[in-house]
């Protein structure tokens, strides 16, 4: 049985192809991801002591139990979690916490989403206004406010977050944000599991359909279907497993979840910065590494405008230096800190609840030296990051096994 | 105005009956926004709160928000849910330390005319009139000195 000072490791991990899966439902995709993760770790459902399960858009069904009905009803506790775009990372945290607390020595986490063809995920359509104006809700509004008092759509919210950074530090432009998207689309050409694998020129990106300036369509996360799953094992249990399992295991050096502390402006525009900075600081402290130690980073580029601010929030650059950091080429796959070599949410895709585990799969695959054509050579330390508005931030730091 | 339409009010009646789009907009001769201000720490909120997110205080007073400010962030929305006219400019306006979410109005919705740091002032605009002749009035910010 694990102890509170126990090390945590990823024993097995898997992600499905992201994209359109018209013939697979949510349970099929989850089953595929979990079966893959169990097989990858060389274990079965009988070895699992706890399940963290994430699904956001599938309705009220308990996705964890539905998964058990396909792969094994072993009677272990299931925690169905929901934390916006941080849902997958939250499910992983559940498994990690249970193992860390010594409740079991092996836990499973998965996230799954069916999102292909979905449009805007927030911002209600405006119905015809009422026959008699009647104040309702916490603002006492007599009519819908989306589009009348700012915007509720995500491309617009995150556009403002990028613009706010530009206002504070200068140097941003429509073209700069488009160039970030150009990088991620280019990176995705090496990722066979990405929803989109087509390189786009900056001209094509800027000339595409404008959604919310400065975010055009390819600068927005791609709605798609997908799932990812991971098996977390305690360090002491891992020592009892085969040498091959120990060699391929990836160490979870830090597993952190934060929410947004109160800030003056966070009442009108979500503050995705402070909670990310807090999570990063906690994660670096726990792992005993710093940003310069990172060989690759998968961060939450839900929009091109968001990627920029997270360079700064994760401490990859000097405070205020995200524009120069990007223009130096640092975040391209041949740069000093490759960011989103998977293609990121803009091109790999963003099946919401899967994302916070899929990004761990990406970096784990590099740390194992199994990333094929897109392998970052010699990768030893990596960081993953997700943000769910509301807000929640998950950061994980992973390290290659010394075994 | 046609007298045959029972839903169209007389001009005088329409002028007399207005309702703000949201309850934190105060109409009248000097339209302005009013925030719920925590009596303990001074944190401001535009929605009804059970308690203060900053200090957990539970009492609030009304505080007038300055009607001029500076655009700290904006986006020009060109793709929205059905029924919402586009393009529109959504922004965060810093009104002397109080952040306000609003549309920018009475300005061309393009990056040549909307800029970060531009000075703006509160302005009202009609939302529509209901069947009882009451006009709903919303707000936005327009360029200062424009």
- Model confidence pLDDT, tens digit, residues A175-221: 999 999 999 999 999 999 999 999 999 999 999 999 999 999 999 99
Map out the domains of chain B as residue ranges. Answer: 11-32+65-143
CB A225 within 8 A of CB A116: yes
Question: In this structure, what CATH number is given to the domain that contains residue A389?
Answer: 3.40.47.10
Q: Which helix (H) or strand (E) element contains residue A324?
A: helix A322-327
* Alpha-carbon span A29 to A51, nearest angstrom: 16
Tell me whether residues A268 and B19 touch, CB distance under 8 A: no
A334 and A370 inside one domain: yes
**Which pair of structure tokens corresponds to residue A261?**
């502390």
Return per-residue pLDDT of chain A as tens, 403 residues. 445 578 999 999 999 999 999 999 999 999 999 999 999 999 999 999 999 999 999 887 899 999 999 999 999 999 999 999 999 999 999 999 999 999 999 999 999 999 998 877 677 666 666 689 999 999 999 999 999 999 999 999 999 999 999 999 999 999 999 999 999 999 999 999 999 999 999 999 999 999 999 999 999 999 999 999 999 999 999 999 999 999 999 999 999 999 999 999 888 999 999 999 999 999 999 999 999 999 999 999 999 999 999 999 999 999 999 999 999 999 999 999 999 999 999 999 999 999 999 999 999 999 999 999 999 999 999 999 999 999 999 999 999 988 7
Asked whether residue A131 is domain-assigned, the answer is no
Asked whether residue A371 is domain-assigned, the answer is yes
Q: Touching check for B105 and chain A: CB below 8 Å? A: no
Find the mean pLDDT for residues B88-110.
Answer: 97
Environment class of A87 (CB within 10 Å of its CB; exposed 0-12, middle 13-18, buried 19+): buried
Cβ contacts (< 8 Å) between A136 and chain B: which residues? Answer: none
Tell me whether residues A123 and B84 touch, CB distance under 8 A: yes
Cβ contacts (< 8 Å) between A169 and chain B: which residues? Answer: none
Nearest CA to CA, how far is B137 from chain A (Å)?
10
Asked whether residue A280 is domain-assigned, the answer is yes
- What total of structural domains would you count in chain A? 2
A239 and A272 inside one domain: no
* Alpha-carbon span B104 to B75, nearest angstrom: 10
| A364 alpha carbon, distance to own chain's centre | 14
Q: Touching check for B50 and chain A: CB below 8 Å? A: no
The boundaries of the domain holding residue A37 are 8-118+224-249
Instruction: Measure CB to CB from residue A149 to each of B81, B102, B131 and give the nearest one.
Output: B102
pLDDT of residue B5 exceeding 60, the answer is: no
Best mutation target, A139, A152, A268, to test chain B (most B CBs within 10 A): A268
The per-residue pLDDT for range A118-128, each reduced to its tens digit, is 877 677 666 66
Closest by CA position to A18, among listed A312, A223, A254: A223
DSSP string, A241-288: S-HHHHHH-EEEEEEEEEEPPP-GGGGTS--HHHHHHHHHHHHHHHHT
* Alpha-carbon span A136 to B129, nearest angstrom: 17
CATH number of B11-32+65-143: 2.40.50
Cβ contacts (< 8 Å) between A167 and chain B: which residues? Answer: 71-73, 116-117
A191 and A327 inside one domain: yes
Asked whether residue A197 is domain-assigned, the answer is yes
DSSP string, A187-231: HHTT-TTSS------HHHHHHS-EEEETEEGGGBPPP-BEEEEEE
* Alpha-carbon span A171 to A166, nearest angstrom: 6
pTM for this model (two decimals): 0.94
β partners of residue A256: A395
Chain B residue with CA closest to A158: the answer is: B75
Q: Touching check for B100 and chain A: CB below 8 Å? A: yes
A23 and A90 inside one domain: yes
Q: How far is CA A108 from CA A99, A187, A197, A334, in A?
A: 10, 29, 30, 34
Angle at the Cα of A279 from the Cα atoms of A304 and A309, rounded to 5 degrees: 25
A12 and A88 inside one domain: yes
* Alpha-carbon span A386 to A291, nearest angstrom: 17
* Alpha-carbon span A185 to A200, nearest angstrom: 6
Which alpha helices (DSSP H) does A23-136 contain, by range?
26-41, 63-71, 87-100
A281 and A371 inside one domain: yes
Q: Angle formed by the axes of helices A304-313 and A272-287, to 10°? A: 50
Angle at the Cα of A255 from the Cα atoms of A251 and A258, rounded to 5 degrees: 170
DSSP letter at B80 equals -
Give the model's confidence band at B31: pLDDT under 50 very low, under 70 low, under 90 confident, else very high.
very high
Instruction: Measure CB to CB from residue B76 to each of A126, A212, A262 and give the nearest one.
Output: A212
A52 and A201 inside one domain: no
Tell me whether residues B44 and A267 touch, CB distance under 8 A: yes
A349 and A238 inside one domain: no
């Amino acid at each position: 049985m694990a102890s509170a000072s126990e090390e945590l490791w990823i024993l097995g991990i898997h992600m499905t192809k992201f994209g359109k899966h018209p013939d697979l439902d949510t349970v099929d995709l989850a089953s595929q991801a979990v079966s893959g993760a169990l097989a990858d770790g060389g274990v079965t459902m009988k070895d699992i002591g706890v399940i963290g399960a994430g699904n956001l858009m599938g309705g009220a069904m308990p996705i964890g139990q539905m998964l058990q009905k396909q792969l094994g009803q072993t009677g272990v506790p299931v925690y169905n979690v929901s934390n916006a775009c941080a849902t997958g990372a939250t499910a992983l945290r559940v498994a990690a916490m249970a193992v860390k607390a010594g409740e079991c020595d092996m836990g499973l986490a998965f996230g799954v989403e069916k999102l292909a063809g979905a449009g805007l995920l927030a911002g209600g359509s405006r119905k015809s206004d009422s026959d008699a104006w009647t104040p309702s809700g916490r603002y006492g509004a007599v009519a819908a406010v989306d589009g009348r008092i700012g915007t509720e759509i995500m491309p617009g919210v995150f556009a403002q977050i990028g613009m706010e950074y530009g206002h504070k530090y200068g140097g941003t432009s429509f073209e700069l944000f488009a160039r970030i998207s150009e990088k991620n689309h280019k990176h995705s050409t090496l990722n066979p599991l990405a929803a989109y694998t087509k390189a786009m020129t900056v001209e094509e990106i800027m000339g595409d359909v404008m959604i919310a300036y400065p975010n055009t369509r390819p600068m927005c996360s791609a709605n798609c279907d997908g799932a990812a799953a991971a098996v977390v094992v305690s360090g002491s249990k891992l020592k009892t497993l085969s040498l091959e399992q120990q060699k391929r295991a990836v160490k979870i050096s830090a597993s952190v979840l934060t929410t947004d502390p109160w800030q003056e402006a966070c009442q009108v525009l979500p503050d995705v910065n402070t909670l990310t900075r807090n999570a990063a600081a906690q994660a670096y402290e726990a792992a005993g590494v710093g940003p310069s130690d990172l060989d690759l980073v998968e961060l939450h580029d839900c929009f091109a405008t968001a990627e920029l601010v997270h360079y700064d929030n994760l401490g990859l650059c000097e405070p205020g230096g995200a524009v120069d950091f990007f223009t130096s080429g640092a975040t391209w796959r041949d740069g000093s800190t490759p960011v989103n070599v998977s293609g990121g949410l803009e091109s790999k895709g963003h099946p919401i609840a899967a994302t916070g585990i899929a990004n761990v799969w990406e970096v784990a695959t590099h740390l194992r030296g199994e990333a094929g054509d897109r392998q970052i050579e010699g990768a030893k330390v990596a960081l993953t990051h997700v943000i769910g508005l509301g807000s929640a931030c998950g950061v994980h730091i992973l390290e290659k096994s010394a075994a | 105005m046609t007298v045959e339409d029972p839903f169209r009010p007389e001009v005088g009646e329409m002028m007399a009956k207005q309702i703000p789009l949201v309850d934190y907009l105060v109409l009248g001769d000097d339209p302005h926004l009013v925030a719920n201000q925590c009596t303990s720490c001074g944190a401001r909120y535009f929605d009804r709160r059970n308690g203060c997110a900053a200090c957990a205080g539970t009492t609030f007073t009304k505080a007038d928000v300055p009607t001029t400010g500076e655009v700290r962030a904006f986006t020009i929305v060109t793709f929205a849910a059905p029924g919402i006219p586009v393009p529109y400019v959504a922004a965060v306006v810093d009104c002397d330390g109080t952040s306000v979410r609003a549309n920018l109005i009475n300005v061309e919705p393009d990056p040549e005319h909307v800029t970060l740091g531009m000075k703006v002032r509160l302005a009202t605009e009609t939302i529509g009139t209901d069947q009882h002749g009451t006009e709903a009035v919303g707000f936005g910010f327009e360029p200062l000195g424009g």
